[in-house]
Amino acid sequence: MPYKEVKVEKLYYSIGEVATMFKVNTSLIRFWEKEFEIIKPKKNKKGNRLFTKKDIDNFHIIFHLVKERGMTLKGAKQKMKENKEDTEHNFEIVKSLENIKDLLIEVRENL
């Protein structure tokens, strides 16, 4: 059986790493942190923000609502408060469909 390298996920991500993931400025990350209650990064002794995987998932949902669907911050906040589970479920469906699309494109290119 061939050796499979296990993907190691970090426990905490710096604000720069999060900004790079979403291709945005760190100021936008700090702004969203203030605007949305669901993002609560830990801070180390120096005061640097340390984001967990859950924070990253919440950023994905916020990014999807604001940047991809074009909602206002007020609308995104309201949607997150009213039915967070439904919003998360819809985001997961969109994410899995995008993964399937990428896989099909890769298969087509390899044919």
Residue position matching structure tokens 């074009």: 70
pLDDT of 92 over the 70 cut: yes
Domains of the chain: 13-110 (1.10.1660.10)
pLDDT at 8 over 70: no
pLDDT interval class at 79 (50, 70, 90)? confident
What is the pTM (predicted TM-score) of this model?
0.71
State yes or no: pLDDT of 2 exceeds 80. no
Query: Rounded to an integer, what distance in angstroms lies between the CA atom of residue 46 and that of residue 54?
Result: 22
The residue among 41, 37, 51, 42 whose CA lies nearest residue 80 is 37
